[in-house]
Structure 1
């Protein structure tokens, strides 16, 4: 089993603010208390084995990610009744991957949010993000 003793996602049970909501053979669906105030219901799907990013996932981890994602959606729909979802991976520091352990963000979205209608690419499409290719 690939494991990093210093990685918070390899050790989800060591953070008292983090809850394992779902678990299958290779993955967890986690929710962290510090994110629930603004991102109500949000969580991460992470492989149990330490994988740097989703490009390193095994076929079994992909299958289990798919299965846990659908079970997480069922639970989130039941508990929070969101109006939509934003989901995605950050890969590498340039994309803001702060923890070098693959994690799929699953974020319920609500019609009454101040940024409702602004999706995962909203800020990427801003003119301020245009590269200067001199």
Structure 2
């Protein structure tokens, strides 16, 4: 993929490969924001080979993703000391995927941020306030 920002990490300014292994990279941006809030340490785990969605990963890539996720958590815990995490895959356009190279969001969460306590269930609640 010639124009894929995860296949060609040099296409994105201020993007850093922070950690990696044989099959995956952990990418971070200098200014990564979630809902307008700077969440220090946030990044993405992406396979080195172009895979459109998480369902396309090989078993070796799944294992490498898990292994790298453990390293990423240790790194973020030591550097930023978050109070929690959100992890997530968006697969296909209708589910919110906008970059069609599989990527796992790793988002550290902090007690003092505006969306603290608002995890995935918060966004899944219906208008009737029914728990997801």
For the criterion TM > 0.5, the same-fold answer is yes
Q: Name the CA distance, whole Å, in 1 between partners of 2:30 and 2:3.
A: 20
CA contact (8 A) 1:87 1:104 kept: yes
Q: Which runs of 4+ in 1 moved over 6 A?
A: none
- Normalised by the length of structure 2, the TM-score is 0.89
Q: Name the CA distance, whole Å, in 2 between partners of 1:75 and 1:81.
A: 9
Instruction: Provide the secondary structure at the position in 1 that maps to 2:120.
Output: coil
RMSD: 1.6
| Unaligned residue ranges in structure 1 (runs of 5+) | none
CA contact (8 A) 1:13 1:20 kept: no
Task: Number of aligned residue pairs: give it.
Answer: 126
Q: Name the CA distance, whole Å, in 1 between partners of 2:126 and 2:118.
A: 12
Instruction: Provide the secondary structure at the position in 2 that maps to 1:68.
Output: helix
- 2:24 pairs with 1:59: no
Q: Name the CA distance, whole Å, in 2 between partners of 1:100 and 1:87.
A: 18
Aligned residue among 4, 8, 25 for 2:5 = 8
Q: Name the CA distance, whole Å, in 2 between partners of 1:111 and 1:47.
A: 31
Q: Name the CA distance, whole Å, in 1 between partners of 2:96 and 2:29.
A: 18
- 2:114 pairs with 1:117: no
Q: Name the CA distance, whole Å, in 2 between partners of 1:34 and 1:8.
A: 16
